[in-house]
Amino acid sequence: QEWMANNLPRKGVIVDAGQWGEPKLPPKAERVYGTPAKSDCTAMYLDRDGKVQSVHYRMPEAKKVKGKDGSGSDAAGTDDTGIVSKQRPDVTRKGIEMIGDLRTDALHEALARAPIEDDTLMALLVLAFAGQNVTVASGARDISYYGAASLGEHASRLFNAEGALEFDLDTLRVSVRSLLIDVLSCRENKSNSGIVARVAGNAIGADNFLSNMGTEEFLSCLSRPALEGSCKDTPVLPRARVKDTRAALVEHFREERFVHPAALFAPDKARLSSWLTGNTASGEDDPDDQGEGPEAGDDAGAELSDEEPFREAAE
């Protein structure tokens, strides 16, 4: 759909496919089977195999209505491409919400059970707290929001009876996994972590934990082209009626596992690139932090001396 929208020629429209895969042209449109004229229109559509096709058509000349002054006026205006009903998206809003729930369940199961290296686990922790559903009252930043989630229970496991941090590596791993499960989410609501949850799920193979989506409830959320595209690599052939195709797919996937490509965790490269660009540290100092005059120089020297213990610890 997006490709067709971006590549529509002048006087072009996107139309639906009919019951037998033929394009549904605008009312009164006359299909052109020969060489199209410059004044003809183009209709683009997805065939039953999900491939982009195009046909040409022409609209009948609009009848000119004589005005009071005897001159003719074009009643239909200058746009003769025809009126086409809005294209139904491949996956409805309900389907998107179902995908979000299924993704989140798979992500949480992968975080609980999938093998994850310690360095990856720590990286996921950083990703989780970069999620758009996380708010933290930070002492190093301007406090604009306050977190509502009670995550202290995960940290409490790391303390001994005397109130000091004391834990083994297994306990730390359990706490980190539990914290990640609490934080990362793909649900279509306020808890959505955004693209970082997709990156995290892709990194730990959460696709393998997605449940079967070949159900009546989910398949009913697909458009006809998307539903018939789901027949690929199966013995199921598209039926004349959508509900018959859907019923055949449900029966086929009763013993199989179907995952719609839209549900996979791999993030969109353009969105990820945009997120990375928007969240890359500039490395520039805040002008307000740069003092002027000798007093500022003394403060800078004091700060430098305060950093020495950290440098020694790092060495």
Does residue 236 lie within any of the structural domains? Answer: no
Contact by Cβ (8 Å): 101, 110:
no
Task: Report the pLDDT value the prediction gives residue 296, as an integer from 0 to 100.
Answer: 44
Torsions phi, psi of 55, nearest 5?
-135, 165
Give pTM, 2 decimals.
0.55
Q: Cα separations (Å) of 314 from 59, 304, 307, 308? A: 76, 15, 11, 10
Dist. CA 128–CA 118, nearest whole Å: 15
Lowest mean pLDDT, pick from 70-79, 107-116, 230-239, 260-269: 70-79
Provide mean pLDDT across the span 123-138: 70
- Same domain flag for 10 and 120: no
Write down which residue in 14, 42, 61 finishes a domain: 61
Task: Report the pLDDT value the prediction gives residue 85, as an integer from 0 to 100.
Answer: 53
- Same domain flag for 169 and 29: no
Contact by Cβ (8 Å): 97, 262:
no
Cβ-in-10-Å burial (0-12, 13-18, 19+) of 182 comes to middle
Which pLDDT tens digit goes with each residue over 161-206? 998 878 788 888 888 888 888 888 888 887 788 899 999 999 999 9
Does residue 311 lie within any of the structural domains? Answer: no
Does residue 53 lie within any of the structural domains? Answer: yes
3 state DSSP class of 32: strand
Does residue 106 lie within any of the structural domains? Answer: yes
The mean of the pLDDT values for the chain is: 77
- Same domain flag for 155 and 268: yes
- Same domain flag for 20 and 135: no
Q: Which residue has the tokens 């449900």?
A: 250
The confidence band for 310, taking pLDDT boundaries of 50, 70 and 90, is: very low
Per-residue DSSP letter, 90: S
Closest CA to 48 of 13, 90, 18: 18
- Same domain flag for 122 and 267: yes
Tally the residues of the chain. Answer: 315
Does residue 303 lie within any of the structural domains? Answer: no
3-state SS of the chain: helix, strand, coil percent to 5? Answer: 40, 10, 50
Q: Which domain holds residue 50?
A: 2-61
Does residue 83 lie within any of the structural domains? Answer: no
Dist. CA 291–CA 299, nearest whole Å: 9
- Strand 72-74 to strand 52-58: parallel, antiparallel, or no bridges (unpaired)? unpaired
Task: Report the pLDDT value the prediction gives residue 76, as an integer from 0 to 100.
Answer: 45
With a CB cutoff of 8 Å and minimum separation 6, the contacts of 212 are 253, 256, 257, 258, 259
Does residue 249 lie within any of the structural domains? Answer: no
The confidence band for 81, taking pLDDT boundaries of 50, 70 and 90, is: low
Dist. CA 302–CA 140, nearest whole Å: 19
User: In this structure, what token pair is assigned to residue 302?
Assistant: 């004091």
- Same domain flag for 56 and 120: no
- Same domain flag for 197 and 263: yes
- Split into its structural domains, the chain has a count of 2
Does residue 136 lie within any of the structural domains? Answer: yes
